[in-house]
Structure 1
Amino acid sequence: MKNEFMIYKLSETVKSTCKIESELFEKFNVKRGLRNADHTGVLVGLTTVGDVLGYERLEDGSLQAIPGKLLYRGIDIDDLVHSIQHEKRTGFEEVIFLLLSGYLPDKDELKQFSRLLNESMALEKQTKMSIIQLEGQNIMNILARTVLEMYTYDEAPDDTTRENLMRQSIDLVAKFPAIIAYAYNILRHSAKGQSLHIRHPNENFSIAENFLYMMKGSNGYTNLDVRVLDLAMIIHAEHGGGNNSTFTVRVTSSTGTDTYSSIAAGIGSLKGPLHGGANLQVCSMFEHLKEAINDWTDVKELDTYLAKMLNREAYNKAGLIYGIGHAVYTISDPRASLLKEMARDLAEEKGRQKEFEFLQLIEERAINAVMSRKGSKAKKQVCANVDLYSGFVYEMIGLPKEVYTALFAMSRIVGWCAHRIEELNFDDRRIIRPAYKNIGDFVEFVSLKDR
């Protein structure tokens, strides 16, 4: 009890010691969350890896919303995806090559690169045993610990030469699907009492198909499942240097630390519900709305309920509609648009068109509800973000919620590695070290006997 009281006593002091008045941030021109007053991000670096566009700045300094664009090495993600879809093939491997190297591979290069990824996918025996020993834990934590453990099996873990960074990056990208699949199957066995299945990756499968195979077996998925998962991985692979987890990787990389420590830090950042866990919040909200709304086609009933949610009168009373709004995208999120296209086909294959149509209606009415609430004071438009559809897509494919955030990591590891390589190859490298202003008062020291 004494220990509990001491913890309580110390935690109570936080009420005063951590209290900083909001107006002080404006007084000292502090950009909270590294955001400017117009909600744009504070410019802290330069990159050639990717770009996220949702507005353009006019000559008078004001912002004008534009349809969202996502560029990988200067190439529009729409063009990449639609080309791959037109050829009815998977394309994540091609995107990995593009982001890591800076250019699109020809057929022979892509074939060799895909073979290299497949040959690197299998886990070492020690890694498999380590995952088994971590049974029952959060999969993102297992992923982070496994990545840190990979340091011990690397013959040159601290070598930051370009060649070694590329070797480590390819190895990590290739192994993430197996680590996540193994971790889930162990969790499924230990926590849910179900049969334990450990499947070795197939060297003839794409990364997307290998993941589904390792998770569900050869009869557990369709060709459309593979193509939709491949699309989801492509659109989550990179999102500029300013997203929280990528920035975390760049910050840690700037110190010169090893690849495994830096990537583990990125995993920790992505695990946060305000970053990688957003689609789980959408899934929970969608399940609630399916129960709360009697007629899924009744616009008036849905509008009334969404207004209650924004007024903190319904659902979790947080005043939010999850899956709506983004820090950069305003008119549209290109990732959401692309995923929505294939979600429609997937819903038809699974016989879940009514749910898909209801989700579409939620998108339409939620945007209207948010903008109506903001009224004339609205500083920018809002749109549906990729999380509105990603969770529903994963659920239709038959993937468990425990791996949703890990799936994000399985894709974003590509962007993390590309940005780390770039950060460590600047001609004039500097450690990233922003400043914090101390606003506390000077306090005279009092010796222990006089306290």
Structure 2
Amino acid sequence: MQDVEMTSIENLKSDWDSLESALLHGHRIDPNLYVEYDVKRGLRDSAGKGVLTGLTEISDVVAYDLVNGRQIPAEGALYYQGINVYDIVKGLQGRKYGFEETVYLLIFGKLPTKQELDMFLGVMSELQELGGRFVRDVVMKASNGNMMNAMQRCVLTLYTYDENPEDISVRNVLRQCLELIAKLPLIAVYSYHAYRHFRKDDTLLIRNPKKGLSLAENILLMLRPDGEYTELEAKVLDIALILHAEHGGGNNSTFTTHVVTSSGTDTYSSVAASIGSLKGPRHGGANLKVQNMFADIKAHISDWTNEGEVADYLRKILNKEAFDRSGLIYGMGHAVYTLSDPREVILKSFAKDLAQEKGMMEEFALYELVERLAGQLVMEQRRLFKNVCANVDFYSGFVYSMLDIPQELFTPIFAIARMPGWSAHRLEELINANKIIRPAYKYVGTHTDFVPVEERV
């Protein structure tokens, strides 16, 4: 059936070319009109700063100091419910439930007491069950080559397994969100195993999570054939999950959460929409781009320690002469942060520890060298006066690779981490807003008369 459909499409190639040409001609907007009407493209002002569209108490992204009414670039800071993420990571040293404590903080607005944490861990452990029928009938059937699409399908199907899916009361949505936080790791890992088995003829491995393990530990346990991992591996993944858990209400997938939630729709539809947003290479898929870029750099540079050779190749990338010819050095620059991305700074330190354990310090040194050279080269190339820093995607893919996480799961791991942030924002939207989000678009076309088909040219 598929071969017949493909042949039919190829036979109609000229027709599709005509349709594409008509589409492009009919929808091309003069870019000067955006300036004329002061349209905030991408909901950003002329300086690239996000347009204020809402209020939140969940997290704060700080990139400037305010001095005498002027914004002065500063080292980046990220706050979860008012607590600096540096302090969260430092305070959780030696504890394996860091991500779970962060989930509690984001959703309930405070760090849990010992008693509250024990209760919460018990609840999350019970919600972790996915059910053999769901795994067999949903995850294993119609395996998907893209795990983000597989996750969307599974999340939407969970709607039919919910006895009360349309209830958007705070109590019910909280229950649904906690269930999705607990179940998303199983959905992602099992979807990957199904893909490997049915599409790559690999051995099918489905291992249940263990009670008493952290979410990070269970991901490694379920993913690896032998189920083994080191304490440092679990800790680094736990930290990566914490750093990706939340990043303000304005990032694309979280804003999607607010927009879709404001329509009054169900939790599963809201989460599926946010996963779809995160899938995009301009958002959650950026760490994979960084990994592919470094594979290309390694293949074309003979001496990883030679600054001149590395700089020359980076210039080729910027000049659209190398890698994917986009002119971008992936992992460099951020829409908000200027001098540094705090998530990158923290993750880099753990990446170094893991590289030492894995015997991969040469690769880590290459990452450091590219980071040091790329910012200055981008500023020179684009004639920018604003500092260009590395963002969290710069090291996250490298960390995942050292953890033997397959590239197909890079963005799903991001989705697993961001699920608590989406949950907190969905609940915040439901509690505080009763108005659908509906921005305006300026019509810039022309009104014309209807012409009968016989008279059209």
Q: Same fold (TM over 0.5)?
A: yes
- Which amino acid counterpart does residue 323 of structure 1 have in structure 2? G
Which residue, 4, 7, 23 being the options, matches 1:14?
Answer: 23
Inter-CA distance 379–160: structure 2 relative to 1 (3 Å threshold): farther
Match of 2:98 in 1: 91
Q: Aligned residue for 1:400?
A: 406
Query: Where does residue 267 of structure 1 map in the other structure?
Result: 275
Structure 2 residue corresponding to 1:357, chosen from 362, 365, 373: 365
1-side partners of 2:165 and 2:218: how far apart? 27
Q: Are residues 1:224 and 2:229 paired?
A: no
* 1:198 counterpart residue number: 206
- Give the number of equivalent residue pairs: 446
Is this contact kept in 1: 2:320–2:326, CA < 8 A?
A: yes
CA distance 1:437–1:58, change in 2 (3 Å): farther
| TM-aligned CA deviation for residue 217 of structure 1 | 4.5
Partner Cα separation in structure 1 for residue 143 and residue 450 of structure 2:
49
- Checking the alignment, whether the CA contact within 8 Å between 1:246 and 1:266 is kept in structure 2 is yes
* Amino acid paired to 2:443: N
What does 1:294-333 correspond to in 2, within 5 Å?
A: 294-333=302-341
What amino acid is aligned across from residue 44 of structure 1 in structure 2? T
Does residue 382 in structure 1 map to residue 391 in structure 2?
A: no
Instruction: State the AA in 2 paired with 1:317.
Output: R
Contiguous gaps of at least 5 residues in structure 1: none
Paired amino acid for 1:9: S
**In the TM superposition, what are the counterparts of 1:208-247 in structure 2 within 5 Å?**
208-217=216-225, 219-247=227-255
- Could you tell me which of 90, 107, 114 is aligned with 1:82? 90
CA contact (8 A) 1:94 1:104 kept: yes
SS at match of 2:333: coil
- Alpha-carbon distance in 2 for matches of 1:58, 1:320: 33
Give, in angstroms, the shift of residue 134 of structure 1: 2.2
Cα shift at 1:125: 2.9
What is the DSSP-based 3-state SS (H/G/I as helix, E as strand, rest coil) of the residue aligned with 2:431? coil
2:4 matched to which residue of 1? none
1:168 and 1:384, CA in 2 relative to 1: closer, same or farther beyond 3 A?
A: same
Q: Name the Cα RMSD after superposition.
A: 1.4
Number of the residue aligned with 2:131: 124
Q: Are 1:106 and 2:130 an aligned pair?
A: no
The TM-score with structure 2 as length reference comes to 0.95
Contact 1:185 / 1:197 at 8 angstroms: preserved in 2? yes
Does the residue aligned with 2:207 lie in a helix, a strand or coil?
coil
Residue equivalent to 1:155: 163
Is the Cα–Cα contact under 8 Å of residues 220 and 227 in structure 2 kept in the other structure? Answer: no
Q: Which residue of 1 aligns with 2:122?
A: 115
CA contact (8 A) 1:278 1:322 kept: yes
Show the counterpart of 1:286. Answer: 294
Tell me how far apart the structure 2 counterparts of residues 94 and 326 of structure 1 sit (CA, whole Å).
27
> Comparing 332-341 with 309-318, which one deviates more in the overlay?
309-318
Moved more, 172-181 or 218-227: 218-227
With over 3 angstroms needed to count, the CA separation of the structure-2 counterparts of 1:88 and 1:424, relative to structure 1, is closer
Q: Which residue of 2 aligns with 1:134?
A: 142
Aligned counterpart, 1:31:
40
Q: CA deviation at 1:307?
A: 1.3
Aligned AA (2:47): D
Q: Give the CA deviation at 1:39.
A: 1.2
Where structure 2 has 5 or more consecutive residues not aligned to the other structure, the ranges are 1-7
Q: Which residue of 1 aligns with 2:5?
A: none
Aligned residue among 434, 442, 450 for 2:439: 434
The question of whether the paired residues in 2 share the 8 Å contact of 1:56 and 1:64 is answered with yes
Q: CA deviation at 1:124?
A: 2.4
The answer to whether structure 1 residue 41 and structure 2 residue 50 are counterparts is: yes
